[in-house]
Structure 1
Amino acid sequence: MAHDLKGRTIAFLAAPAGAEQVEVTEPWDGLRRAGADVRLISTAGTEIQMYDGLDKGDTFPVDAPLGHSVPDAFDALVLPGGVANPDFLRTVPEAVAFVRAFFDTGKPVAAICHAPWLLAEADVVRGRTLTSWPSLRTDLGNAGALWRDEEVQVCEAGPNTLVTSRKPADLPAFVKTAVDVFAA
């Protein structure tokens, strides 16, 4: 990775259970290789349970609970998918507010797979072009987004940049683009 993210702290927001493991580990590793300090934030507990589809994956330690994390402490945000992860987070007002704060302060956000559900709940997709897991197309359109079936979509509408991808197969492009955007 050509860009240097030294001195940048990136938040990963995940529910206590349900995040797609590869959608955490690949961006995590790519951002760390680029020099970023990455932190796992969750709504509860000291670890989160990852999934590989519907099968349990590994557990990962939480760096800080959401209640003790402020968006000002981070330079960017990554939202991993998995069906259960964003579906749970969009019901937690503190998680929705945390996400919205990144948009309000103009910080970049990267979301993959089902994670844009949380963006719709935070009311930050209106007027933006993005992609996601295909089943979210109608939900995102109803929230005011223009949905595209593309490997990676970068939207610079509004004060911040939003990077989105559809699925685990898109991770190489998603990680490269997130590093590029977060380094800008």
Structure 2
Amino acid sequence: MGALTGKKVAILATDGFEQVELTEPMEKVKAAGADVDIVSLESGEIQGMNHDEKGDMFTVDKTINDVSAEDYNGLILPGGVLNPDTLRTNDKAVQFVRDFFVQHKPVSAICHGPWMLVEADVLEGRTVTSFPSIKTDILNAGGNWVDEEVVVDQGLTTSRTPDDMEAFCKKVVEELREGKHDRQTP
């Protein structure tokens, strides 16, 4: 039995996500025993990206209209520029992210993924990292931005780029294993 057996994890993504930022955490979480759903805005398939080149297509398991944070033990937010920029314009997707914080469940975001945390207004007083280009957005949202490989703040795991993937995935699994965390509700 894996460390995450019996746990269910959502990966929120849409077209334009950085492929490795979805596939690597998904593989590690599944290998640890969790069930994983790719949640998106619409059913069908979503387009992965390998930096600025099209990657593979991925099947959506559930739409944002059919899920609740109550259905999951944790959430993963991959980056890519287009992915979080599109997701943050969808009120249901933003509320889905916010609900994980209200329920004190682990959330992990990498690269541009923390844009969803800015939009969900859950960064006040938290220490996080991200792709450097969204540092100002994080600071303006009340977060404390640091340039580190991986940062964990009360169940919120963040990393900068695919170069940080090994450390990111390790902490994602650890935080999901620990489960609920004490933290302030937004």
State the TM-score, normalizing by the size of structure 1: 0.95
Aligned position for 1:13: 12
* Gaps in structure 2 of 5+ consecutive residues: 179-186
Structure 1 counterpart of 2:176, from 167, 176, 182: 182
CA contact (8 A) 2:111 2:130 kept: yes
The count of residues paired between Structure 1 and Structure 2 equals: 178
CA contact (8 A) 1:152 1:163 kept: yes
Aligned position for 1:170: 164
Structure 2 counterpart of 1:77, from 75, 78, 92: 75
Q: RMSD across aligned C-alpha pairs, in angstroms?
A: 1.0
CA contact (8 A) 2:43 2:62 kept: no
- CA distance in 2 between counterparts of 1:138 and 1:96 reads 20
- CA distance in 2 between counterparts of 1:4 and 1:116 reads 26
Identity %: 50
- CA distance in 2 between counterparts of 1:65 and 1:143 reads 27
Q: Residues 111-142 of structure 1: CA distance to partner in whole angstroms, max 9, x if unpaired? A: 00001111000000011000000111111001
* Gaps in structure 1 of 5+ consecutive residues: none
Aligned position for 2:3: 4
Aligned position for 1:49: 47
State the TM-score, normalizing by the size of structure 2: 0.94
CA contact (8 A) 1:3 1:183 kept: no
One-letter amino acid of the counterpart of residue 170, structure 2: K
Structure 2 counterpart of 1:153, from 143, 151, 154: 151
- CA distance in 2 between counterparts of 1:139 and 1:3 reads 37
Q: Residues 33-91 of structure 1: CA distance to partner in whole angstroms, max 9, x if unpaired? A: 10010110000131111001111000010101110011101000000000001011110
- CA distance in 2 between counterparts of 1:34 and 1:108 reads 16
